[in-house]
């Protein structure tokens, strides 16, 4: 038996050693004389083949390679090529079946108009290197390879090769090419009733493939997304390149190469075109199929349409983006504290408000309190703890002390969710940066103080009026002369108008009216609107 060290896709050197193209390592092996089961592994591609000793060796090989390719491989679409590998490789012969296999005539190759290496799929260049390097030691092997046909489509071909030193001119490469699909015996493929029932009923896209990437079993769901296919049995014997666009087939082939390289499974999400022409998404998972000897002999794939989930995720992303934008514009962030795991989550806006690095700063209740102004921490902490105990939502304004010494003002709201037993589960809340609003409020208060000061200064001045309107009114403590505006305010107070009504009547602000009332009472030593009214009547400011 041949020792493969658990890795498929090896090629055999003349000295009976196995060489992995991926690692270029040589492993000791034991090979039987009549039947050699071997693997050729190239860049993670894993495939197996069985080679039988030839009944008659090609004359061009002499005795060097011991004729490891069976002439039976040339049946049907099988094509045989002989190439002299030298500084300028020369095609020595091509069998006529090449036109049926690839669409090119033998003369195209013989005349050098078509180069076989140029027809190899770009992702199989590693296999091309194996074939066309002028190695000193003769080798033989086999693997599936992708070739581009004359019509531009990809065909998966089973390629068996044998190399032999011919003479001083170089090395002769003998190739046997055969359509991978033609190697699969559909007639003898069997499936029990349980397998058929599963393939007919499942909603998943299920596919079984042999070592040559040919489909050996599939689900009806997979057949439903393939054009011109009525039943899953019609998929048997086909390849992905027969069913899907080349770009999608390339991606599937690439995943299968990973499986053959020894990766236990792959799981990816892939975009694809649905039968209705609309782009959709599918989750693809692939696993190796092992024979009783533990060798990889195929791939099992199961895929599931996740278009609805992707649409939902995309809508969710857009919604989150809109929410993030709205929070940034309103300087409003939200947070949630899991009281079971003690994990605190912040929205992006809170990181901006607190001016901490989203990637470095780990939110926690303690870290939050550390940013709160030292003079406000006790109040903030008490507000939250009292809310937990009373189960009543709360809101509070407090300051943040930033690392550079600046102060921000924030407004917080919070409420807690409890279980049926009254135990707190999580707290949720919002934080809004109100620094600008607070600054305007403080500036407005300062402005009002200055206005009041100006009014007081004006009230202390004597306002000249006409002799008939000049009323001198003094309180018992000798207050100064009242202004015309003071007289207007006293008249309206005596008439029973409120501060708001007086403000509207005199076209001044309510705050100014209140200031006038306060100044009048201060100057006249009075304490209420009733005393002001009595004063106005006594001094004949208003008629009785």
Q: Is the pLDDT of residue 50 over 60?
A: no
- For the chain, give every domain's residue range: 11-182, 184-305, 329-433, 459-538
Q: For the full predicted model, state whether its pTM sits above 0.85.
A: no
**329-433 and 459-538: identical CATH topology:** no
- Predicted local confidence at residue 499, as pLDDT: 85
Which CATH code for domain 459-538? 1.10.10.10
- Predicted local confidence at residue 186, as pLDDT: 63
CA distance 162 to 82: 10
Q: Is the pLDDT of residue 62 over 70?
A: no
CA distance 459 to 454: 9
- Predicted local confidence at residue 188, as pLDDT: 62
Environment class of 324 (CB within 10 Å of its CB; exposed 0-12, middle 13-18, buried 19+): middle
- Predicted local confidence at residue 140, as pLDDT: 83
Distances (CA, A) of 54 to 2, 49, 178: 18, 15, 17
Q: Is the pLDDT of residue 255 over 90?
A: yes
Q: Is the pLDDT of residue 475 over 60?
A: no
- Predicted local confidence at residue 184, as pLDDT: 77
Mean of pLDDT values over 321-332:
74
Q: Is the pLDDT of residue 373 over 90?
A: yes
pLDDT bracket for residue 473 (50, 70, 90): very low
Q: Is the pLDDT of residue 10 over 70?
A: no
Q: Is the pLDDT of residue 422 over 60?
A: yes
Fold of 11-182: Beta-Lactamase (3.30.450)
In angstroms, how far is the first alpha carbon of the chain from the final one?
Answer: 130
CA distance 453 to 481: 18
- Predicted local confidence at residue 181, as pLDDT: 87
- Predicted local confidence at residue 456, as pLDDT: 56
The per-residue pLDDT of the chain, averaged, comes to: 77
Domain 184-305: which CATH number of 3.40.50.880, 3.40.50.300, 3.30.450.20, 3.30.70.20: 3.30.450.20
CA distance 49 to 37: 6
Q: Which residue has the higher pLDDT, 325 or 452?
A: 325
Domain 329-433 has CATH 3.40.50.2000: no
Q: What is the pLDDT of residues 97-142, one digit of tens each?
A: 999 999 999 999 999 999 999 999 999 988 888 888 755 555 788 8
pLDDT bracket for residue 68 (50, 70, 90): low
């Amino acid at each position: 038996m041949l020792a493969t060290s658990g890795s498929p896709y090896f090629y055999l050197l003349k000295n009976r050693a196995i060489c992995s193209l991926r690692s270029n390592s040589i492993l000791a092996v034991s090979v039987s004389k009549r039947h050699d089961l071997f693997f050729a592994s190239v860049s993670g591609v894993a495939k197996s083949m069985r080679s039988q000793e030839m009944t008659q060796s090609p004359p061009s090989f002499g005795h060097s390679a011991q004729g490891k390719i069976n002439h039976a491989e040339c049946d049907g679409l099988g094509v045989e090529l002989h190439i002299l590998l030298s500084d300028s490789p020369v095609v020595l012969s091509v069998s006529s079946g090449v036109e049926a296999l690839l669409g090119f005539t033998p003369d195209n190759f013989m005349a050098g108009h078509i180069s076989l290496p140029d027809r190899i799929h770009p992702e199989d260049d590693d296999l091309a290197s194996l074939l066309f390097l002028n190695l000193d030691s003769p080798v033989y092997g086999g693997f599936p390879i992708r070739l581009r046909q004359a019509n531009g489509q990809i065909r998966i071909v089973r390629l068996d090769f044998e190399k032999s030193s011919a003479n001083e001119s170089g090395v002769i490469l003998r190739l046997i090419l055969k359509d991978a699909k033609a190697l699969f015996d559909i007639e003898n493929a069997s499936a029990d009733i349980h397998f058929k029932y599963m393939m007919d009923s499942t909603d998943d896209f299920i596919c079984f493939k042999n070592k040559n990437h040919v489909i050996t079993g599939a689900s009806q769901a997979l057949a439903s997304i393939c054009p011109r296919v009525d039943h899953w049995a019609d998929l048997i014997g086909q390849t992905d390149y027969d069913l899907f666009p080349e770009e999608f087939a390339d991606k599937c082939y690439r995943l299968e190469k990973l499986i053959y390289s020894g990766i236990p499974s792959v799981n990816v999400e892939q975009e694809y075109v649905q039968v209705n022409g609309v782009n959709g998404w599918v989750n693809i998972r692939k696993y190796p199929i092992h024979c009783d000897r533990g060798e990889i002999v195929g791939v099992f794939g199961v895929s599931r349409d996740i278009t609805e989930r992707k649409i939902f995720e995309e809508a969710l992303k857009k919604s989150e983006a809109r929410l993030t934008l709205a929070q940034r514009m309103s300087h409003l962030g939200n947070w949630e504290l899991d009281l079971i795991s003690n994990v605190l989550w912040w929205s992006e806006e809170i990181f901006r408000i607190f001016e901490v690095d989203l990637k470095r700063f780990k939110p926690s209740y303690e870290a939050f309190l550390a940013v709160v102004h030292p003079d406000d921490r006790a109040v903030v902490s008490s507000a939250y703890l009292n809310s937990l105990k009373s189960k009543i939502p709360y809101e509070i304004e407090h300051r943040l002390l930033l690392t550079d010494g600046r102060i921000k003002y924030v407004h917080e709201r919070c409420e807690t969710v409890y279980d049926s037993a009254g135990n707190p589960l999580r707290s949720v809340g919002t934080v809004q940066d109100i620094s600008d609003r607070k600054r305007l409020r403080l500036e407005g208060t300062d402005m009002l103080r200055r206005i009041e000061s100006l009014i007081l200064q004006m009230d202390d001045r004597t306002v000249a009026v006409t002799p008939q309107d000049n009323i001198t009114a003094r309180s018992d403590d000798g207050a100064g002369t009242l202004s015309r505006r003071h007289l207007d305010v006293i008249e309206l107070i005596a008439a029973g108008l409120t501060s708001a009504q007086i403000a509207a009547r005199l076209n001044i602000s309510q705050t100014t009216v209140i200031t006038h009332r306060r100044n009048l009472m201060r100057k006249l030593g009075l304490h209420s609107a009733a005393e002001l009214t009595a004063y106005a009547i006594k001094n004949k400011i208003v008629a009785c």
